[in-house]
Structure 1
Amino acid sequence: MNDEISSLRQRGIVWLTMAGWTVSGAFVLMALFTGTYGWQALIASVAINLPPSFVALQKRHDATARLVVGLMIAAQPALLLYATRGIEWQIDMHMYFFVALASLTVLCDLRPIVAGALLIAAHHLLLALVAPSWVFAGGGGIPRVLIHALAVVLQAGILGTIAVSLTATLRRSASAREEAQQALESTRAERALREQLEHDLNERRRTELVEIGQAFETSVSRVATALADTALTLDETTGQLDTVARDTGSGAAGAAQAAAAASHAVATVADHIASLSASIGNIAVTVSQQDTLASEADGRSQSGGVSVAQLVGHSTDIAQATRAIAEVADHTNMLALNATIEAAAAGESGRGFAVVAQEVKSLSRQAAQATGEIETLLTGLQAGSQDAASSFSQISRSVQELAQAASVIRRDVDGQRSLAAEIEVTARQAATEADQIASRSDGLAKSARLAEQLSADLKSASAMLLDNVRELDKSAGDFLARLDRACDSKRAA
């Protein structure tokens, strides 16, 4: 790293020294045209070039040598100003101060730049006070000198920064080159080691290749045999699969037809069940009407029973009245008999009374006879009324039983109607499912046909696999033969 910077600094000292002598040569030409000032500047230039030349001849590049060269380069433009005083070009010579400072960056050191800048600033300030014409034609004044001095200081700062950055960059570059050199040496060592390892590895590989070739031959032989057996088994399996696919296709087609027929039959059953449900609904209406009529008959039979019971009561009252009439008739008959006896006892005067008594007696006998007939009729009427009451009671019980039976029938009919509706829904669902089964059976038949086609393709593929196995066996034999020849040639080499 330091070698590169030192070499650059040494070359910079040589270049700057040569530049100083070049300026001295320019002073020779200027002396020919300007006279005394040119010769004086030439003498001063040669004088200040001697120390840097001595340093350059000794090939020094230390800090002192760099300061000597820096001061020489900063002083040469001042001599140019002196040589051109009184000439209009003097102001243009100020630019060489900036050139001089810029050239010092080749030394890769901040100190010569700072020393040169201080020398230039001191030159401007001191001569502006002592000999202004040596700096500016006609005198520039302190403000003008300060502006130039400030410009020199700013340039020195910029150039110093550049010099420091250049030095750091060169150091990093040198460090990177050293690292690259070390990496290169390491790479060379690794390459030599890798070549040795590759040589050893090639030897092992040749041995392993022979072993791998033998193992490969055995493996390929086993694989080829297994593949051949697999191809034959696959061919047999595809034949069986083809048969199964055809049988499945036929069965699926039959199942589709049967499912379609079942769907039609179930739909017909659903229609019949719908008709049966309507008939059950009509029966339910009729049973409901019968229940209503039975209720009315029960009410009327109960009313008839009440009427018959009232009739029995009235006949009993009539019988009692008839017995009272019979008793009155008996008393009347007794009175008529007594009247007849009394009339007979009275003689002629009682004859008319006797006739009346006979008539009364006749009427009492008729009343007694009528009363007997009435009692006979009442007895029959009471017996008939009792039979009618018993019959009405039985009729009422029968009607109640009929009403209960009608209620049971109505509940059963309602249940049958609900059941018939559920059966109808189930039948229609069964018809829908039968349609779906038919559709799936069609899909199964299509899948079976596709399986049959795939079976044919698989059979063709198994034949190709068997051919490929034979080709693999042949290729493996050729590969092993070439491998043996290659190993033999490497052993010979």
Structure 2
Amino acid sequence: MFQSIEEQRRFADRIIIGALWVLAPVTLIAALLIKAPWLGFGLASAGLAGAVTVFWKLNPEGVRIAASAALMGSVSLLVAAFAGRAWQIDMHMAYFAALAALIVYCDWRAIAAGAVVVAVHHLLLSFVLPAAVFPGGGDLGRVVVHAVILIAEAVVLMWAASNISSMFARSGASLAAAAEAKAEAEDAMRTAEGARASENAAAHDRETLQRTVENESAQVVDGLARGLKQLSDGDLTARLQQAFPAKYETLRTDFNSAAEQLEQTLAGIVTSAGTIRSGASEIASAADDLSRRTEQQAAGLEETAAALDEITATVRKTATGAKAAADVVLAARGDAQTSGDVVQQAVAAMSQIENSAQEISQIIGVIDEIAFQTNLLALNAGVEAARAGEAGRGFAVVASEVRALAQRSAEAAREIKALISASSQQVGSGVHLVGQTGEALQRIVGRVSEIDTLVREIAASAQEQAIGLAQVNTAVNEMDQVTQQNAAMVEQSTAASHGLAAEAKTLAESAAKFRINASPVGRPARRAA
């Protein structure tokens, strides 16, 4: 047990400097194992420990601030040695452990110096050399979270250090008063012994007074010793229940008040650590659920994007087919129009053939009349030849032949006329059929035109659908990318929440070393999830 706060601080100097020398080989070994620049980290950490040791030898009373800053610097070197590794974020817990260890100085300035070094380190290197602070680069959100926790711990520790320092000061003053009272009692005893020869009557009273003063002094010293021993053992529930003499009662009251304030401070730390741990666990659980849902949503969007790709390809193929069908229908329409023109030409040719047949029938009629006249002339010639007798016999033969030729010509003319008549009927029937064919082809051309219009509208609609589906597909792909980015951010938030929970657990474990009442006062209500 230390008799004064200065003894406590001198002992703390040895502890902090020893921790610096321990961190030097730890940093070197860690850098060597993960294949980092181990020589540089080891020399830097050993250099900090050596510089603080030399400063301690030269100025033992003023080394606290330098030792606190060097301890945080060594922890920063240890964190930087794990750059790019998953353990780098876990090494940040060493900051809070080292900051809590500075409470041994019972000096709020040492704690403030350590907190300032960590704050400057995080803020500066997060922009200049982010890989030396957090794995994967700088993160302003992480810096803010660590700063809030660091400030909270530093404020609580500074408050506790100030209270402990005040308590030590009051205890020292009380001990000094007790020593002074004891010295006064001893002076009184010596005075009483000097005057014993002349004051034999008052000897008994003086002895009684002496014993009373000694008993009171012993009672005060023993009570304070027991209380301080319990405090040094971490029992913050220690109270001086036995009443002191009237002139020492203020000392007992101050001791109990200081112990009660210290207990309430530690109880607040435990409560805050539990609340932080509970909130961090809830945040981590919610982040895990959000991460799973985001992954499911990303998978669904990916499947949707794939399906839209297939639909877009199908619609594009349909649009291409509709356009090809429109081209085929357009070609069919041209062929139908060409066929209609050919049929019109055929109808015109049939009409000309019918006109030619009628003219041939007229010519055959003329030939029939000529044959009839020739037959009459041949008959008259035969009659005249018979009248001429022997002289007209040759002429009668010629007349007979001409008559026979005329009859054959008349028969041939009648046959040709019959054939021409039959051909005229057939040509008329053909003209009628060709006309019907032309009308049918005109109707076909009209229907093909309507089909061409419909197919063109279908092709245009399919093309518009393909464009729209392509736009929808692009939007879904962008949503898929955004969802993947959100999933990555949720993973980072989840890692930060787990780190916060682990740090709160470490803080609670550190505070659990002290013994306090089971139901601390002023416990804050938990925030609903």
Which has the higher Rg, Structure 1 or Structure 2?
1
Flag whether TM exceeds 0.5 (same fold).
no
TM norm structure 2: 0.39
Higher helix share: 1
